[in-house]
Amino acid sequence: MKILVTGGIGYIGSHTCVELLKQGMEVVVFDNLYNAKIDVVDKIKEITGKEITFYQADMRDKESMRPIFEENKIDAVIHFAGLKAVGESVEKPLLYYQNNITGTLNLCELMKEYDCKKMIFSSSATVYGAPKTVPIKEDFPLHTTNPYGTTKLMLEQILTDFCKADPDWHVILLRYFNPIGAHPTAFIGEMPNGVPQNLIPYLTQTAMGIRKELSVFGDDYDTPDGSCIRDYIYVVDLAKAHVCAMTRIMEDQTTEPVEVYNIGTGTGTSVLELINAFEKATGVKLNYKIVGRRAGDIEKVWGNVGKANKVLGWKAETPLEDVLASAWKWQCVLREKGIM
């Protein structure tokens, strides 16, 4: 079985390649290196002892992807490639629509041309906007608050329309909650550009002394300790969800043309709880202060993951403290190498 992993040397893609290879699947990857380093290809090989085929291609340029389909019989695609920074998407909406939408349309056209009609798509819990209640179920109303989120929602719709028009198309939409952590080997992990916007990289950089202090955005929310709540999912557990979804789609077990699953732990953790867990897991004291709310933040987000547990046979299994220890180990490696 040959799987094409788009954006496969990025954060989630690289961890997923490792899990696919571990299950004996053949992996072909392409990436335009916009937000990834080429040495990740070797790291994936080092972790698994297996080969992958890498192409440098940009999905905005359809012809740059053609050799991948010419030279390989691709059975299915896991589609990670995309831009993902919420703030940047507000400033540069055209870039986001061009990259995420046009790029995916180009990819789908080639898939159709080369008779590959199975896709697992990286969606996001961002498509639920601010939910009225938690935990969030897959059938909750969808709405978005920024262009990044809108590209995800539009792509979910576009892929659904493909499946309606051609019964041979099968798509699984995975809506991730907040992916965190790094591979236990610390060979691969998240590598944010510039000042991190997300909690975990900012937290580990603060613990390392790269940032002076972590700002906790708000302690006056309607939550037990006043800080926001999220569903933090370990990236390796998340990667394994793709293997389960791939097995389901390849073994023709899907019962609907488009299936959708929440991928999270099913548990909410507040920012302050997360800081405590980090200190406990690593023994490192974190310098933080409470500041005002961050514009646009949603108070409470966590998923009902019963469908993924039952239908995909997948469950997040790594304890939060182990996940945070992996993030810290990765930060220490980045420091050793002088990267961050």
Q: How far apart are CA 189 and CA 22, in angstroms?
A: 18
- Nearer to ligand NAD (CB atom), residue 144 or residue 284: 144
Binding ligand NAD (rule: CB under 6 A), the pick from 3, 5, 13, 312 is 13
- Identify the sign of the CA torsion 102, 103, 104, 107: positive
Q: Is 202 in the site for ligand UFG (CB under 6 A)?
A: yes
- Binding segment for ligand NAD (CB under 6 A), chosen from 34-42, 162-170, 201-209, 225-233, is 34-42
Q: Is 31 in the site for ligand NAD (CB under 6 A)?
A: yes
Compute, in degrees rounded to 10, the torsion defined by CA atoms 99, 100, 106, 110: 130
Reply yes or no on whether 148 is catalytic: yes
- Binding segment for ligand UFG (CB under 6 A), chosen from 154-162, 163-171, 213-221, 319-327, is 213-221
- Nearer to ligand NAD (CB atom), residue 84 or residue 117: 84
Closest CA to 178 of 299, 267, 264: 264
Q: Is 16 in the site for ligand NAD (CB under 6 A)?
A: no
Q: How far is CA 128 from CA 17, 131, 135, 146, in A?
A: 28, 6, 11, 12
Site string for ligand NAD, 144-183 (x = CB under 6 A): --------------------------------x--x----
Q: How far apart are CA 74 and CA 27, in angstroms?
A: 9
Q: Is 71 in the site for ligand NAD (CB under 6 A)?
A: no
- Residue 179, C-beta contacts closer than 8 angstroms, at least 6 positions apart: 11, 12, 233, 234, 235, 238
Site string for ligand UFG, 216-245 (x = CB under 6 A): xx----------x-x---------------
**# residues near ligand NAD by CB under 6 A:** 26
- Minimum CB separation from ligand NAD for residue 68, in Å? 11
Q: Is 122 in the site for ligand NAD (CB under 6 A)?
A: yes
Q: Is 10 in the site for ligand NAD (CB under 6 A)?
A: yes
Which residues lie near ligand UFG (CB under 6 A)?
A: 84, 86, 124-126, 149, 178, 197-199, 202, 214-217, 228, 230, 271, 294, 297
Which residues lie near ligand NAD (CB under 6 A)?
A: 7, 9-13, 31-36, 58-60, 80-84, 99, 103, 122, 124, 176, 179
Among all residues, which ones are annotated catalytic?
148
